[in-house]
Amino acid sequence: MKARYINPYTDFGFKKLFGEQANTDLLIDFLNQLLPAKHKIVNLSFKNTEQLGAVTGDRRAIFDIHCENEKGDQFIVEMQKAKIKFFKDRSVFYTTFPIKEQAEKGNWDFRLNPIYCVAVLDFTFDDDREQKSCVSNIQLKDQYCQTFYNKLTYIFIEMPRFTKGENELESHFDKWLYFLKHLEDFENIPAILNEEIFIKGFDTAEIANFDKRQLAEYEDSLKVYRDLKGVIDTSFEEGEKVGLEKGRKEEKIALAKKSLKKGLPLETISELTGLSKEEIEKLT
């Protein structure tokens, strides 16, 4: 059965929900769940998502969504579908563009407006952090864990870590994550999301409301997403297979070394481990 609602992890789906002027109320409501009270958003305006380097040949940045509130605070909002090498470096690099954009000619005192980089991640970081929440809120701190600079904030939302069911939702933000994670699977609006803001989200996401051009764009975007997920899943499975094979080989080598120490003949060790005599001789 075809889905009733879009997949928000696709480029089209994410921008349909949060990247259109008609849906700024959805983006504002979502972002306000992440921001401190003093930076709550009343109005948002979208900015150019393509950021060019200072000179020809410099690397450029293309944001999913780039917007600014009524105070001049800037927000980069992205959906990241797959883990990429140096993802954190990329995030820091991207924030240099709205920083440099604030430079003024002439006598300027270097005062900057706050910048938020909000990334919804369809993966988890594989580092050694103790992670109790699916949201990481990151600022520059000193060796005493005191905030050194509070105008540059990175907010990473690791969606696979959000595992709450409908009966476990405790906050409005929980409802947003539940909405995003399960949107494509909903056949009807669940009672817990029967609120004005989510009803608009469902109406925006309903595929039956798309015209032919929008439907074609969504299907293309969905294909790209599924192909990417297929590549990732295949790579993971192959990695698991390689890992298992490597583990078995290491076990065989360990057994061969023990057998050599006990003085067992090469033929016997070869039969026990499956290693060739040549491989065993290299261990001596």
| Span 63-82, pLDDT tens digits | 889 999 999 999 999 998 87
Exposure of 77 in the CB half-sphere (CA atoms within 13 A): 26
Structure-model confidence comparison of residues 235 and 168, the more confident one: 168
Distance of alpha carbon 112 from alpha carbon 266, whole angstroms: 72
Range of the domain at 140: 11-209
pLDDT-above-70 percentage for the chain:
84
Residue 282 counted as domain residue: no
**Contacts with 162 (C-beta within 8 Å, 6 or more apart), sequence order:** 134, 177, 178, 181
Residue 2 placed within a domain: no
Q: What is the mean pLDDT of residues 9-38?
A: 93
The arrangement of strands across the sheet holding 44-46 comes to 44-46, 65-69, 74-80, 115-121, 147-158, 135-141
What is the distance between the alpha carbons of residues 275 and 89, in angstroms, rounded to a whole number? 44
- At 190-201, the pLDDT tens digits run 999 999 999 999
The reply to whether 162 falls in a domain is yes
Is 137 within a domain? yes
Residue 263 belongs to some domain of the structure: no
What is residue 52's predicted lDDT score, i.e. its pLDDT? 57
Amino acid at 57: G
Do β-strands 44-46 and 65-69 pair in parallel, antiparallel, or remain unpaired?
antiparallel
Question: Does 256 fall in a domain?
Answer: no
The counts of H helices and E strands in the chain are: 8, 8
Over range 244-263, report the average pLDDT. 70
Q: In this predicted structure, what is the pLDDT of residue 236?
A: 47
| Burial per residue of 76-93, b for 16 or more beta-carbon CB atoms within 10 angstroms, e otherwise | bbbbbbeeeeeeeeebee
Give the pLDDT confidence score for residue 151 in this predicted structure: 95
Amino acid of residue 86: F
Structurally, how many domains does the chain consist of?
1
Domain assignment present for 175: yes
Residue with the bigger pLDDT between 35 and 271: it is 35
The beta-strand segments (E) located in 106-146 are: 115-121, 135-141
Please indicate, yes or no, if residue 264 is contained in any of the structural domains.
no
CB 154 within 8 A of CB 91: yes
Using CB atoms within 10 Å of the CB of residue 179, give its burial: 0 to 12 exposed, 13 to 18 middle, 19+ buried.
buried
Q: Which of 41, 7, 1, 13 is nearest to 214 (CA)?
A: 13
pLDDT at 58: 53
pLDDT in tens, 145-191: 999 999 999 999 999 999 999 999 999 999 999 999 999 999 999 99
